[in-house]
A and B are shown apart, each in its own frame.
Chain A
Amino acid sequence: MGEENQQTGQQETRQLRGLYSKVKISVRTLNIIIVVLAAALVACMAFAIAKGGFRVSFDSQGGTAVETQIRMHGELLEETETPTREGFEFDGWYLDPGGTVPWDPEEDTVTESMTLYAGWREK
């Protein structure tokens, strides 16, 4: 195991076992590392929370472009402009490009970043 140290109350470098057997580090350095990493973690979380918001992008599949929205968790979509396409009528937004899973703008809330696909009906 590690070397037993006769001097109590002093923290100097001790050998660790297992995956740390080659590690030679003082407790003071570790303290500093932990504090720095913890600060970095909190900073990352704060930064990410401040810039929070799921991006809902709209793929109009051949029609006019619709702007991406930023929504928070649990919100409904904002009003979108209806895209237009030659010879087709807009059929609503769907969760898949094939137009099988519809998105209900009155009921469905945003829970992740996603892309909504336009459904088209031939005129």
Chain B
Amino acid sequence: MAESKLKARGEAFKELSSKDKTKRITDLLLNNAMYIIIILAVIYISIKVPAFLKLPSIVNVISLTAAKLPIALGIGGCIVLTGTDISAGRVVGLTACISASLLTTTFKVFPDMNSAPPIILVILLVIVTGGLVGLVNGFSVAKFKLHPFIVTLSTQLIVYGIILMYLMKGSNNGQTLSGLTDGYRSLITGTLFSIPTATGSVAVPRYVLYSIILVILMWIIWNKTTFGKNMFAVGSNEEAANVSGVNVSKTIMMVFVLAGMMYAITGFLDGARIASANANTGLNYECDAIAACVIGGVSFVGGIGRISGIVVGVLLLQIIFTGLNFLAVDANMLYIIKGLIILIACAIDMRKYLVKK
């Protein structure tokens, strides 16, 4: 059946005038320009550095993608609401610091503690912290109608101040937190399963599984719950959603709270993954997350986005930057490349919705 559909489309294409044909081809090329460039880059890199396509490299890319997915999933919701959330990175940093300061063997922030609290307690604590920041963001956006940029800019700075003061507590004096408990580290970075290769085996870490669970969870929330439908309705047209009975304020607040909780989980995972936490943990994470969302089709037009798109966006970005690293590209150039990618993704995004009839 798919074959006959393809045939029908091919025949319809031939029927078009040559002017329409060029228009169709231009549309196809330009709307997918990002993917084309990335695929070409991957091909080039695989030829130059064959190690890029080997199993350890692939597992590395998948692991890094899994680490950066939860924050992108959270921020995706804010973008669907035509907003943004630039406090994301700092919330990740705060929750990483909280996790690292509690689940450690050398207590510096709380020198009076002798044993680490149960992990489940720390998880709940950081989720509540993230949700609280999200609540402050969401409340200010919903009730005071402030633009999310202003609100999250303020929360970003406030959370950074909290991180700095938190790290000065006890006997720590602003140093990096490390020396995490074995239980914490093995829970996150322990081996999920090993893939045997010719020269040994490659281990897939556990946080890949947690990321997959979060992706499924967010997919259900976005597509199968009333909250998800409301989120898309408010993002498309706030007045129309209000008129048709959606509680706009509550929806906005819940989106930001959910985002905050996702950042908290990212921080919890990152603390163990990097095996340390300091005031710079999480710095600028939101840039990568927003870029991934835009590449993945979550449009700034509002009310449009798919979880699968976000996963693809994070994966593609990670592939590009791992590949560029294999080619020993100057790290400073990566910022310029990242900026250009965001601009191109935005231009393509605008074009897609401008041309739609």
**Chain A interface residues toward B at CB < 8 A:** 1, 5, 8, 11, 13-14, 16-20, 23, 25, 27, 30-31, 33-35, 37-38, 40-42, 44-45, 47-49, 51-54, 71-74, 111-113
Contact = CB atoms under 8 A, between A and B. Distances in A.
Interface stretch (B117-125, B137-145, B172-180, B329-337): B329-337
Given A17-B237, A27-B355, A34-B351, A45 B328 contact: no
Nearest to A113: B331
Nearest to B19: A9
A44 B336 contact: yes
Interface of B: 26, 30, 33, 37, 41, 49, 51, 82, 235-237, 299-303, 324-331, 333, 336-337, 340-341, 343-344, 347-348, 350-351, 353-355, 357
A112 to B, nearest CB: 7
B355 A19 contact: no
Contact of B350 (A16, A45, A113): A16
B236 A17 contact: yes
Contact of B344 (A37, A47, A52): A37
A5 B357 CA distance: 8
8 contacts: A17-B237, A17-B303, A18-B235, A25-B350, A38-B37, A48-B337, A51-B330, A72-B328
B37 A73 contact: no
A37 B33 CA distance: 10
A17 to B, nearest CB: 5
Main secondary structure of the interface of B (DSSP, over half): helix
B29 to A, nearest CB: 9
A5 to B, nearest CB: 8
A37 B337 CA distance: 10
Contacts of B330: 48, 51-52
A48 B300 contact: no
Contacts of A25: 350, 354
Nearest to B34: A38
Contacts of B327: 48-49, 52, 72-73
Nearest to B30: A34
A68 to B, nearest CB: 14
Contacts of A13: 354
A4 B59 CA distance: 48
A16 B301 contact: yes
A14 B174 CA distance: 53
A1 to B, nearest CB: 7
A30 B44 CA distance: 28
Closest 4 CB pairs of A and B: A18-B302, A19-B300, A18-B82, A48-B333
A1 B350 contact: no
A34 B325 CA distance: 25
B145 to A, nearest CB: 15
A88 B196 CA distance: 46
Given A16-B353, A19-B82, A38-B33, 6 more contacts: A18-B302, A37-B347, A42-B37, A44-B340, A72-B327, A73-B328
B12 to A, nearest CB: 16
A14 B354 contact: yes
Of listed B326, B336, B354, B355, residue having the most chain A CB within 10 A: B354
A52 B299 contact: no
B354 A34 contact: no
Of listed A19, A37, A71, A73, residue having the most chain B CB within 10 A: A19
B340 A34 contact: no
A25 B49 CA distance: 41
A6 B344 CA distance: 30
Contacts of A11: 354-355
B354 A73 contact: no
Contacts of B337: 41, 44-45, 48
Nearest to A52: B328
A44 B327 CA distance: 13
A20 B301 contact: yes
B268 to A, nearest CB: 26
A35 B347 CA distance: 10
Contacts of A41: 37, 337, 340-341, 344
